[in-house]
Amino acid sequence: MTTPYKGMDAALLEAEYNLRARRGSDFEDLVERWLERSATQRDSPGAKVDLAYGAGVREKLDWFSGSEPDGPALIFIHGGYWQRGDKSMYSFVTEPFVEHGVSVAVINYNLTPSVRMPQIPPQIQKAVSWVWQNAPDLGFARDKLFISGHSAGGHLTARMMATDWPSVDASLPADLVRGGIPISGLYELEPLVHTSINEGPQMDIAEARAESPCNIPPVTNAPQLVAVGGGETAEFLRQSDDYSNQYRTDERIMERFDVRKDDHFDELETLARPDSLFFEKCMQLITG
């Protein structure tokens, strides 16, 4: 019997990638906790919500100022398998960064199936370009811009590290992004074609391969902290291992980091703790 992907049948792939089902009955409680924490952060004095980086309904971002005019900034891309999620749920991850002088933008983007997968990375590029171009008004040093994202956002973070910025806009520098922190990213999309996750993206194998960071090398030697929860599925651990090993060179640091024994969701709560090793690692990358 031919199996769907590298010896794994559809049932096994579903178990490896359907993380909501794996989390179980407390998932809704977790979401409610994130929403409450994020609402508090969005009401903080340094927050500016729903700034438009484009004309589209979802081309909006929330900005959380680190209050240092020459300080760094981090762009955070939410997950949700490119078909669900909203920036308003993830504001809580910005709190320790802001407290340590790092400004953070949390961005929205169009979701499948209303758009195809190839339309999403250019939209993220638009958001990143907008943040860089508006650095004087936002109040950060444009030569200290970093990018991070979780799950589907980790995939999009890798895609931004593979972006030739002058080809997007001639006014942009090649080294626009100074470092990346993909968190539990999807770097090889083909396994998802065989799961319920594909109900939104509706990818065929050709499109999945074309949109996979494992087939789109970084164009920058900017360092990356490739993080994944230590308690995640074998496939998520493999994907992070493969991505970091594939693109690590003497000139390009690709540090692999396990977030304790966290699962796919708890790792974000660990990130939002200023006393965690994960947050410390992120700050080391951002501040040098």
Q: CA 239 to CA 236: how far, in whole Å?
A: 5
Residues 6+ apart with CB under 8 A from 288: none
Q: What is the dihedral of CA 152, 156, 158, 164, to 10 degrees?
A: 170
Q: Is the pLDDT of residue 3 over 90?
A: no
pLDDT tens for each residue of 122-164: 999 999 999 999 999 999 999 999 999 999 999 999 999 999 9
Residues 83, 199 contacting (CB under 8 angstroms): yes
The stretch 175-195 carries a mean pLDDT of 98
Task: Output DSSP code: residue 89.
Answer: G
Helices (H), 43-164: 95-99, 120-133, 135-138, 152-161
- Is the pTM higher than 0.75? The answer reads yes
> pLDDT value at position 69?
84
Mean of all residue pLDDT scores within the chain:
97
pLDDT tens for each residue of 230-272: 999 999 999 999 999 999 999 999 999 999 999 999 999 999 9
> pLDDT value at position 1?
45
Q: CA 47 to CA 67: how far, in whole Å?
A: 11
On the 0-12 / 13-18 / 19+ scale of CB atoms within 10 A, 15 is middle
> pLDDT value at position 2?
54
Instruction: Tell me which of 2.60.40.10, 1.10.940.10, 3.40.50.1820, 1.10.3210.10 is the CATH number of domain 10-287.
Output: 3.40.50.1820
